Amino acid sequence: MRGLSYDRAADRWVLDGRDLHCSDGFDVRIAGRWVPVRVEYQDRVGWVLYADHDAVRILPGRSLPVRRNEE
């Protein structure tokens, strides 16, 4: 499991010390399984995770188990 954190000064999510940018992908653990997602920024709602046809807004301070897609 890797570290996903939020850098408030940069208004950016960071995964393992690397800034995430729109369309960057990784996996999140949801309901006991790994789900591939991509991160996007939307002006009206902020950072959003997209998985297939679903979207979830992620808020600073939220803790999610994550891993890189390559694993």
In a domain, 9, yes or no: no
Say yes or no to pLDDT of 5 above 70. yes
**Domain contains 1:** no
Domain-located, residue 30: yes
Total domain count for the chain? 1
> Residue 64's pLDDT band (boundaries 50, 70, 90)?
low
pLDDT at position 68 is 73
Q: Given 3-state DSSP classes, what are the helix, strand and coil percentages for the chain, each rounded to the nearest 5?
A: 0, 55, 45
7 located within any domain: no
Asked whether residue 42 is domain-assigned, the answer is yes
Residue pLDDT, tens place only, 27-40: 888 778 888 888 88
pLDDT at position 1 is: 44
pTM metric for this prediction:
0.69
Residue 39 lies in a domain: yes
Residue 45 lies in a domain: yes
